[in-house]
Amino acid sequence: MTRPLDAIFFDIDDTLFSTTVFADKARRSAVDAMIRAGLRAERHEAMRELDDVIAEFSSNYSGHFDKVLDRLGPESTEGHNRAVIVAAGVVAYHATKWRELKVYDDVYEVLKWLSHTNLVRGVISAGITIKQAEKLVRLEVLEFLTPSAIFFTDQVGFSKPNPKLYRRVLHRLKLSADRCLYVGDNPTHDIDPCNREGWATARIRRSGRHAHEEGATTPSYEIRDFLDLRRILQDEFGVR
Ligand SMILES: [Mg+2]
């Protein structure tokens, strides 16, 4: 006996790609570039200040590198125009972004496989709309997704873990919770609300800052990668 399934929705960060590893690489290359451009600081010291700035001002704050220079003091940029040092960091950060922002190989393979099924293949992602949309484009998975099933919290008006976010998505697409599966890495923002709304849930636990957190509820499935997900879709839901 298999469970009926009409739609599968994915989280983006630390689900489709390793946000944590990617961000770390991008920040390191930014700091290295600023030092090459004249910043007088030890690499580990500049990295620590950058990590602290991100923790204190959030990853979506736009003046990270300026704040790092403020913290390191005027002597760290003496004899240089600080705007040039900041620009060196920004350019290196974006260059790394172009190079490194890729889905895991198994994610690519399974999304491609899913695109040959009748399932709705959507995204429900929290964050700044343009940044999340840009990630989907750079990850090169848009062709495997259902265009009308891509939702960003800033646009919907509800953020995770508000259950109204998930209800709104179902309402828009005329889907029912008991025939939908959500795949995400965050136990409290992805898994708990969907469980409470009656969705099937798959928690991916591979990397990222939520890997060691526990939620209030248990996911329907735990997966290490998308090959596990494919097996579940085949065995439990009869997806072919
Ligand atoms: Mg996530």
pLDDT in tens, 146-177: 999 999 999 999 999 999 999 999 999 999 99
Going from the Cα of 72 to the center of ligand 1, the distance in angstroms, rounded, reads 32
Residue 90 corresponds to which amino acid? V
Ligand 1 mean position, distance from CA 189 (Å)? 9
Whole-number Å distance, alpha carbon 234 to ligand 1 midpoint, is 24
pLDDT class of 75 with cuts at 50, 70, 90: very high
Nearest to 156 by CA among 191, 125, 181, 121: 125
For 29-69, the pLDDT digits (tens) are 999 999 999 999 999 999 999 999 999 998 878 899 999 99
pLDDT at position 62 is 81
Answer yes or no: do 121 and 13 share one domain. Answer: yes
Q: For residues 184 and 152, state if they share a domain.
A: yes
Report the pLDDT value the prediction gives residue 98, as an integer from 0 to 100.
82
Whether 124 and 224 map to the same domain: the answer is yes
Do 78 and 154 have their domain in common? Answer: no
Q: Give yes or no for residue 225 having a pLDDT over 90.
A: yes
* Number of domains composing the chain: 2
Residues 69 and 51 in one domain: yes
Q: State what percent of residues in the chain have pLDDT above 90.
A: 90
- Ligand 1: centre distance to CA 204 (Å): 9
Strands of the chain, DSSP E: 7-10, 120-125, 150-152, 180-184, 200-204, 221-223
Examine the domain organization and report whether 72 and 142 are in the same domain: no
Q: How confident is the model at residue 100 (pLDDT cuts 50, 70, 90)?
A: confident
> Do residue 184 and residue 158 come from a single domain?
yes
What domain range includes position 96?
A: 21-100
Rounded to the nearest 5 degrees, what angle is found at the Cα of 33, between the Cα atoms of 92 and 37?
A: 125
Rounded average pLDDT over 82-92: 96
> What letter does residue 187 receive in the DSSP assignment?
I
Residues 6+ apart with CB under 8 A from 127: 12, 13, 60, 152, 153, 154
Q: Are residues 72 and 188 in the same domain?
A: no
Does residue 207 register a pLDDT over 90?
no
Please state, rounded to an integer, the average pLDDT across all residues of the chain.
95
Q: Could you tell me if 174 and 133 are in contact, meaning their C-beta atoms sit under 8 angstroms apart?
A: no
CATH number, domain containing residue 170: 3.40.50.1000
Same domain, 226 and 115: yes
Kindly give the distance from the C-alpha atom of residue 124 to the centroid of ligand 1, in angstroms, as a whole number. 10
| CATH classification at residue 89 | 1.10.150.520
Q: How far apart are CA 190 and CA 128, in angstroms?
A: 17
How many angstroms does the Cα of residue 63 sit away from the middle of ligand 1?
A: 24
Name the domain boundary from 55, 81, 100.
100
Q: 100, 123, 146 — which closes off a domain?
A: 100
| Residue 194's pLDDT band (cuts 50, 70, 90) | very high
Has residue 173 been placed in a domain?
A: yes
Span from the CA of 209 to the centroid of ligand 1 (angstroms):
9
172 and 65 within one domain: no
Output phi, psi for 9, to 5 deg: -120, 145
